[in-house]
Structure 1
Amino acid sequence: MTRGGSTRAWRALRAAVAERDGYRCTYPQPDGHPCRQYAPLAGPGAGHADHVVPVKHGGTDTLTNLRWLCAPHNLGRGTNPDPAPLRDWTW
């Protein structure tokens, strides 16, 4: 999907990211573990599909470059890089 794509396509991609990540925030904490805050697809406390590599820095709208974050982590991050890489945790 490219920028300026259909809203329907973005909504489907966003839903796929949320489902893949179990509707849990994947933002890396200082200890390397993910936040894991529950963030539903809609309503109060809804999560955000976040670009691991921000579009501003060449990131793409692909499943491999998107992850599910709680609103505080996504809004606080802006277009800054992650503070620490997220390890592959099995949860």
Structure 2
Amino acid sequence: MPVKIIIPGSLKRWFYGETEFSCQGERILDCIDRLEERFPGVKGHLIDPKGYKSNVLIFLNGDNLRDFDGLETTVKDGDEISIIPLAAGG
């Protein structure tokens, strides 16, 4: 069973309307690389050289990656990655 990536509706424009994607990989970064292969340009919306961008949160099985090894966090079959956009207002 592959890793499942959940994409919220507010980001589906980056993912050609898709809200779910399955991938194989050893780390979160590998899965983001698979996303980039399928949806060119999306990686730049999610990460930069320092890690993932401040306007998104990435969760693994409901836990924030900041509590683990960030993009180097290992994944296994059946895990679920959620990409959550942050919104600000004033």
Same fold (TM over 0.5): no
Greater RCO between the two (CA within 8 Å, min separation 6)?
Answer: 2
Category of TM-score, reference length = shorter chain: under 0.3
TM-score (structure 2 length as normaliser):
0.27
More strand by share: 2
Q: TM-score, normalised by structure 1?
A: 0.27
